[in-house]
Structure 1
Amino acid sequence: MDDKVAYIIKTLNNHGFEANIVGGCVRDILLNSVPSDFDINTDATPNQIIDIFKGFKIIETGIKHGTLSLILNGKAYEITTYRIDGKYTDYRRPETVKFSFNLADDLARRDFTINALAYNYKDGLLDFHNGCEDLKNQIIRCVGDPYIRFKEDALRILRAIRFASTLGFKIEEVTKKAMFENRHLLLNIANERIYIELMKTLTGKYVSEVLAQFKVILEVFIPELRYVARYKFIESLKYLAKEKEDQSIILAILLKPLENYNEILKRFKVDNKTYQEVSFLIEHYYYPIEVDRITIRFTLNKMGKDMLVKLLKMQYFVEHIDKFYYDLSLSTIKYIEENKLPYQLKDLEIDGTDILKFGFHGKEIAVQLKNLLSLVIKNKLNNTREDLYNYLKSQQNKK
């Protein structure tokens, strides 16, 4: 357990309160994975938590729902009071919450049994919903009635798919049936929240096997997928499963079969960098990339190194180029970089100020720089000040 987490729990205990690590962090520990963060729950109320840690910075993250963030050494630790959720009206959050002194009440409101686990120093592992058994059997099952769970927060439908994709677990049949029958509720969820869950799902180790089962659920928020044949969708999943980090490549492969991919990206409100990269990759999906050092330097000039490498990677993943061609392309780029072969204007030994000396002005400067770079890339001119100056003198005489 994180030292700071241990400190928080022991401090709450020393003031007479229960405190546990809870949810996904407990699940991850039981799966021998390192938790990305730790959530803590307690029977102390928000005001009592503030009083106990009054010497520290506290952010009232969701105080209405009993959650505070305690800042220790610059890191935020969420502490939530045991609670019973009131009525859900927006398929996202309860309108009201009632604080409780009973851990069982708090765990009963969780989404899945594998996330309804708690641990403390006194009692050890606490499991009221057979979450450990489901972990052992690799099953994703809702706590209680799945129809109620999904009506409370429809995003749980995508969370189930995400956990199946990342963990390789099977979704229990009643839970799965409820997911399909309540999928329309996802229309009530903000596209930004859906996008976050979707990307976590798409980077999962088991994404191709899992998402193939749930195309109709994706069609709720990407209705354009209805017009993509199932075999084509499964093929795209097989390709994108090869990439686990670059979201632009993943999205480009997923959205390539869709004509209005730009509108989908706008709906998800992706950042401008991702929007530009995905659009570029789709537009250049089958762009022919020649491997000789001259041509690839022109391509580097046109695309930039980062985008060319992304494009090559995507083309390899979708089997447009084979591994030999992919590796040869990367080794050619590496050779160009290591030997500092010019392919950008900034690589030239002279700049616009030098060209001014030869009587060129305005747009003529850009034309001459572009012409010089082209000749240097083609190996028709050495990239030295002397040779570049001599060439400019010859052009000056033609004016």
Structure 2
Amino acid sequence: MKDKFEEAKPILTTLMAAGHQAFFVGGAVRDYLLGRESGDVDIATSARPEQVQALFQKVIPVGIEHGTVMVRHCGESYEVTTFRVEGEYSDFRHPDHVSFTSSIEEDLSRRDFTINAIAMDVEGGIVDPYHGQQDLRQQVLNTVRDASQRFLEDPLRMMRAARFVSQLGFRLSPNTKEALTTSRELLKEIAVERIAVEMEKLIAGRYVQEGVELLVESGLVHELPIFRNRNNLVPVLESVTSRPLQDMASFLSLLVHYSTIDVKTFMTEWKLSKATKNKAHTLLDGLERLSCDPLPYVLYRVGEELLDSFRELMDSVGYDQLHPKTSVGKLFKELPIKSRADLAVDGKDIKELFPDEKPGPWIQNLLNDIEYHVLLGQLQNDRNTIREWVIEWNPHDPS
């Protein structure tokens, strides 16, 4: 087993020593069987939440009303959930009630897709009542039991289906795809923030083109923010997702760059954070400057923190086809300054050169000019050198 499962084994053995059943479940098991790097390790058990609490020193009751607690072990957190079956989903997200059960098979019956309905015991033995391993081998997505019912319970599962296609390169079974197509309007019942989480994972998938293709073919794309009632944006979506993107800020930047949609509209409809908005503005500014400013200056404005994202966008807009030997990381490291704070002069220095002038935008404009020339190697980043250059070549004109 992988290290993550080995580290979590003591939780299973502790539960089993107390007479309870315990299994690894969820995406970590799926990824382990696929030979992929796994995420968080989740555990299902026949023990009731209060019994789990009694067995471990550090337990956080994160969702105890639904049978879930968080067990802290060796600095890691593990979700431990009691075997359960679920009632109706009147809010399209949470079951109205849950009932605990002693059967792992019954617990697996509530999962979304067969590839996620596989359990593994402490020795690596597999419990697979819905033939998830077969679907893994055939690279196909099937829901557990009736697809229409699964999507009705939680319509976000349709976005999860597209996300798994993007991440794994799987295809939907005919029945699952038909149910997704006919159920797509249910997505309007889901909070935009939840849809955005799945969309961000989808656009970052290795097989993002296949994921987007499913959105388009099924019509689910027309239920998404910004694309609803904007058919002209669908070809743009297909174009900008020709390769994986790092996050929603990168996605936003490309979509705005190639369409008439503005950042504010995108941000409002997708309900994205201010941090995402700021990042997108910086990336978009960099994209637009590629055609008119020297690359060192563009990279400087983008900043080191966003270099990887910007490198990705440069690839997407075909910049490397015009400049195939460009090394963004190398160019940035060679910049004489990395931020305005590295500049040898500041606004106070500039004002001292023109003591009779009132402070104003001219100071910032002059600093921008200095910054530009330093970045292009036309001016040494030395206080005295810059002062001489300002006086000789760029005197402030009070008029």
Question: What TM-score, normalized by structure 1, do the two folds share?
Answer: 0.85
| Residues in 2 aligned to 1:177 and 1:132: alpha-carbon distance in whole angstroms | 22
Residues 1:91 and 2:92 aligned together: yes
Task: Give 1:296 shift.
Answer: 4.1
Superposed CA deviations along residues 125-164 of structure 1, whole A, max 9, x for unmatched, are 1111111111111111011111111111111111111111
Contact 1:21 1:39 (C-alpha < 8 Å) held by counterparts: yes
Deviation at residue 279 of structure 1 after TM alignment: 4.1
Distance 1:149 1:345, change over 3 A: closer
The alignment status of 1:334 with 2:334, answered yes or no, reads no
Give secondary structure in 2 for the equivalent of 1:44: coil
Q: CA separation of 1:382/1:124 partners in 2, compared to 1, >3 Å: closer, same or farther?
A: closer
8 Å contact from structure 1 (residues 228, 257) kept in 2:
no
Distance 1:397 1:86, change over 3 A: closer
**How is 1:185-200 mapped onto 2 (pairs within 5 angstroms)?**
185-200=186-201
The residue identity in structure 2 corresponding to 1:119 is M
Asked whether 1:171 is paired with 2:172, we answer yes
Contact 1:111 1:149 in 2 (8 A): yes
Aligned amino acid, residue 327 of structure 1 = K
SS in 2 for 1:109: coil
Do 2:84 and 2:106's aligned partners in 1 also have CA atoms closer than 8 Å? yes
Match for 2:42: what amino acid? D
Letter aligned with residue 251 of structure 2: I
- The equivalent of 2:275 in structure 1 is 273
Matches within 5 A, 1:253-268: 253-254=254-255, 256-257=258-259, 259-268=261-270
* Residues 95-150 of structure 1: per-residue CA shift (max 9 Å, x gap): 11111111121111111111111111479211111111111111110111111111
Say whether the 8 Å CA contact 1:91–1:153 is kept in structure 2.
Answer: yes
Distance of 2:378 and 2:26 partners within structure 1: 65
Partner of 1:3: 6
Q: Give the stretch that moved more between structures: 36-45 or 118-127.
A: 118-127
SS at match of 2:88: coil
Aligned to 1:387: 385
Amino acid at match of 2:272: V
Q: Which residue of 2 aligns with 1:219?
A: 222
Go from structure 1 to structure 2 and tell me whether the alpha carbon gap of 1:134 and 1:359 turns closer, same or farther (over 3 Å shift).
Answer: closer
2:63 corresponding residue in structure 1: 62
Which residue of structure 1 lines up, in the alignment, with residue 129 of structure 2?
128
Counterpart Cα distance in 1 of 2:76 and 2:50: 21
Match of 1:348 among 320, 329, 343: 343
Cα 1:246–1:102 change in 2 (3 A) is closer
Q: Is 1:208–2:209 an aligned residue pair?
A: yes
Contact 1:240 1:254 in 2 (8 A): no
Once the 2 structures are TM-superposed, how far is the Cα of residue 84 of structure 1 from its aligned partner?
1.1
Q: Which moved more, 1:84-93 or 1:389-398?
A: 389-398
Once the two structures are overlaid, the 10-residue window that deviates more, 300-309 or 83-92, is 300-309
Asked if the contact 1:113–1:143 (Cα under 8 Å) also holds between the matched residues in 2, the reply is yes
User: Counterpart in 2 of 1:180?
Assistant: 181
Q: Which residue identity does 2:313 align to in structure 1?
A: M
Structure-2 change in CA distance of 1:145 and 1:258 (3 Å): farther
CA contact (8 A) 2:43 2:80 kept: yes
Distance 2:239 2:174 in 1: 25
Contact 2:70 2:78 in 1 (8 A): yes
| Range that drifts further, 377-386 or 272-281 | 377-386
Q: Distance in 1 between matches of 2:180 and 2:309?
A: 35
Which amino acid is 1:341 matched to? Answer: P
Letter of the aligned partner of 2:48 in structure 1? T
Q: Which residue is equivalent to 2:51?
A: 48
Instruction: Tell me the equivalent position of 1:19.
Output: 22
Q: What's the CA shift for 1:180? A: 1.1
CA distance in 2, matches of 1:222, 1:380: 47
CA distance in 1: counterparts of 2:373 and 2:130, whole angstroms? 72
Distance 1:126 1:344 in 2: 56
Q: Which moved more, 1:76-85 or 1:368-377?
A: 368-377
Q: Which runs of 5+ in 2 are unaligned?
A: none
Report the CA distance between 1:52 and its aligned residue.
1.3
- Contact 2:46/2:82 (8 A) holds in 1: yes
Q: Where in structure 1 are there 5+ consecutive unaligned residues?
A: none
**Contact 1:22 / 1:40 at 8 angstroms: preserved in 2?**
yes
Q: In 2 relative to 1, CA 322–233 (structure 1 residues): closer, same or farther, beyond 3 Å?
A: farther
Q: In percent, how many aligned pairs have the same letter?
A: 30
Q: Secondary structure at the match of 1:182?
A: helix
| C-alpha spacing 1:144/1:258, structure 2 compared with 1 (3 Å) | farther
**CA offsets 1:6-63 (integer angstroms, 9 cap, x no match):** 100000000000000112221111111231111111111001111111xx22111111
- For residue 115 of structure 1, what is the amino acid of its counterpart? N
Contact 1:151 1:185 in 2 (8 A): yes
Task: Describe the superposition over 1:338-376 as per-residue Cα deviations: whole angstroms up to 9, x where unpaired.
Answer: 2x4358643433334444544525336545544544565
Q: 1:74 to 1:396 in 2, by over 3 A?
A: same
Three-state SS of the structure 2 residue aligned to 1:37 is: coil
Take 1:223 and 1:362, find their aligned partners in 2: how far apart are those partners? 44
Range that drifts further, 118-127 or 279-288: 279-288
1:95-134 alignment runs, 5 A limit: 95-121=96-122, 124-134=125-135
Structure 1 stretch displaced more, 264-273 or 359-368: 359-368
**Local SS of the residue matching 1:248:** helix
Aligned mates of 1:355, 1:41 — CA distance in 2 = 66
SS at match of 2:227: helix
The answer to which of 82-91 and 341-350 deviates more is 341-350
Residue-pair matches, total = 388
Q: Determine whether 1:137 maps to 2:138.
A: yes
Is contact 2:9–2:122 with CA below 8 Å preserved after alignment?
Answer: no
TM-score of the superposition, structure 2-length normalised?
0.85
